[in-house]
Amino acid sequence: MDFTLKPIQPVSTRDAVYDALRALILQLELPPGTAISEKDISLKFNVSRTPVRESFVRLAQEGLLEVYPQRGSYVSLIDMNLVEEARFMREQLEVAVVRLACAEFPAERLTELERNLSQQRASIEAHDYRLMFELDEAFHRTIFEGCNKTNTWQVLGSINAHLNRSRMLRLAADQQWDHLFEQHLGIVEAIRIHDEQHAAELMTAHMHLTIEDQSLLRAKYPDYFKS
Amino acid sequence: MDFTLKPIQPVSTRDAVYDALRALILQLELPPGTAISEKDISLKFNVSRTPVRESFVRLAQEGLLEVYPQRGSYVSLIDMNLVEEARFMREQLEVAVVRLACAEFPAERLTELERNLSQQRASIEAHDYRLMFELDEAFHRTIFEGCNKTNTWQVLGSINAHLNRSRMLRLAADQQWDHLFEQHLGIVEAIRIHDEQHAAELMTAHMHLTIEDQSLLRAKYPDYFKS
DNA sequence: ACTACCACACTACCATACAAGTGTGGTAGG
DNA sequence: CCTACCACACTTGTATGGTAGTGTGGTAGT
């Protein structure tokens, strides 16, 4: 007997286009300000304008795309006000969740965090910053999952689209990965020994570290920023 | 010389349909579980399927609509896990913002809060709960605006769609508006005298009050809830 | 040389037709 | 009476044509 569920949909064209465009925007391969038209994209992907259009609707709702009727669509510029508020929201939620984690955290999630940490160490030594970026995401997601706050993490995912775009600009830069890694170590230790106060302090500092040097970024990529 | 900007768009059909459907869903005039088809809506609004469809995409992204390809679309059921996490997120952000407000808050916003409070008092005496609901929204929004956290409030707006739907169920019920009003009074007073600790405690309690008695709701409207 | 104007290429918006999958009710066969 | 099956009436997904508004570059007129 085969209980495998047949995929509800192999993959809808709309979702495929959406995923592709979103990835291109977040990885800055479509830099802020880039003009993109439904027609262009539909030709590049060899699909009709309909699924492209619907992808545009979703991207516009997330604030990643600005659509001006009858004039054109543009990858949205990075809005520093928005980025700062995204950082603010993330800080509040991350701190609150890590406090919960100090009170109660499943053992298997803790080992998952430790496994992640060892991978982080390896990727830093290998100077693989792209991988380190992904591990950092996974690290924080695991904390949320361990506290049964999966939906919260998903909401953060869309909120942080802008935040991550500016973080991506610093990927090549020095980005003090060593420092971030030390903080990760401390956070996991605090969770293990249920030191809520210390965990909260570490997480607060951690959330501030991910966004400094914005004026430098602005100077380096002036065209990518708004106002 | 006339510097008035002509409206970029009188109002796109898509946005009109989206706004209408969203309001219908949030006010439970389209109850959770209701089947709605693109065709039906397009006939009712006398527009083609295209703008309706794009509205569906947006509503589905917000989690207010479930779309099953080739089978139908349904107003999403209320997911209590989601509601609780929405409440959690809102609590963290509201508390953080009210702390900011205690440190610094513009005078004109404070008078706006006081004006709002007197309107609340009047609407409670008039038993106009619908108006009270709106005043409550405006009250919290004003606090966010006074702290330059407008974007944060907007994000909360989409997060709280689910939360508000379950709150709406209680509108006719007793919904201890008196108690909520007392807390509002206390919060404004705490902001005025910069009593951060007290404000945070009041807001925490306030955020918990808005969601109690869920089991009662579930018993009363079992078909509206998920799992 | 400069300005006003207009045709044209381009955009997103909307309507419509067709494609493909799903569930159901009726019917034919056992 | 029961079951298997199939046609049909739905659904959403995709493609395409026409509409209206916008910006630009070239041209005619001064």
- CA B51 / C1′ C15 distance in Å: 10
B81–A96 C-beta distance less than 8 A: no
B170 falls in which pLDDT band (50, 70, 90)?
A: confident
The nucleotide minimizing the C1' distance to residue B52's CA is C14
How many percent of chain A have pLDDT more than 90?
A: 76
Residue A185 CB neighbours (<10 A): 15
Residue at A70: amino acid letter: Q
Could you identify the residue written with the tokens 């809830």? Answer: B225
B139-178 residues touching A, CB cutoff 8 A? 149, 151-152, 155, 159
Q: Using the predicted structure, report yes or no on whether residue B15 has a pLDDT greater than 50.
A: yes
- Whether A2 has a pLDDT exceeding 60, the answer reads no
State the pLDDT confidence band at B194, using cuts at 50, 70 and 90.
very high
- Tens digits of residue pLDDT in A162-191: 888 888 887 666 667 888 999 999 999 999
pLDDT at B46: 97
- A52: the nucleotide nearest its CA (via C1') is D14
What number does CATH give the domain B80-224?
1.20.120.530
Substitution target in A6, A50, A57, A94 with the highest count of B β-carbons within 10 Å is A57
CA-nearest of B126, B79, B93 to A91 is B93
A114 touches strand C (CB under 7 A): no
CB-CB neighbors (< 8 A) of B89 in chain A: 93, 152, 155
List the A40 CA – C2 C1' distance (angstroms).
38
Between these two residues, A161 and A39, which has the higher pLDDT value?
Answer: A39
Nearest CA in chain B to A60: B58
B14 touches strand C (CB under 7 A): yes
Cβ-contact A147, A190 below 8 angstroms: no
Residue closest to B145 by CA, chosen among B188, B86, B100: B100
A85-120 per-position pLDDT tens digit = 999 999 999 999 999 999 999 999 999 999 999 999
Work out whether strand B35-36 and strand A65-68 pair parallel, antiparallel, or are unpaired.
unpaired
Instruction: For residue B65, list its beta bridge partners.
Output: B75
- In Å, how far is B126's CA from the nearest CA of chain A? 37
Q: A84 to chain B nearest CA, in Å?
A: 10
Q: Is B85 on the interface with A (CB under 8 A)?
A: yes
Q: Which nucleotide is nearest to B72 (CA to C1')?
A: D11
In the block, tokens 């207010």 appear at: B64
For residue A210, what pLDDT is reported?
73
Q: Give chain A's mean pLDDT.
A: 91
Q: Chain A window 31-70: which residues touch B at a Cβ cutoff of 8 Å?
A: 53-54, 57-58, 61, 68-69
Smallest Cβ distance to A61: which of B61, B82, B88? B61
Structural domain spans, chain B: 13-75, 80-224
pLDDT at B2: 37
Q: Which fold has domain B13-75?
A: Arc Repressor Mutant, subunit A (1.10.10)
Nucleotide nearest to A14 (CA to C1'): D13
Query: Quick one: pLDDT at residue A175?
Result: 66
* pLDDT tens column, B90-121: 999 999 999 999 999 999 999 999 999 999 99
Burial B82-103 (b: 16+ CB within 10 A, else e): bbbbbbbbbbbbbbbbbbbbbe
Specify the pLDDT at position A45. Answer: 97
pLDDT at A217: 83
The proportion of chain B whose per-residue pLDDT surpasses 70, expressed as a percent, equals: 93
Indicate if the pLDDT at residue A195 is higher than 90: yes
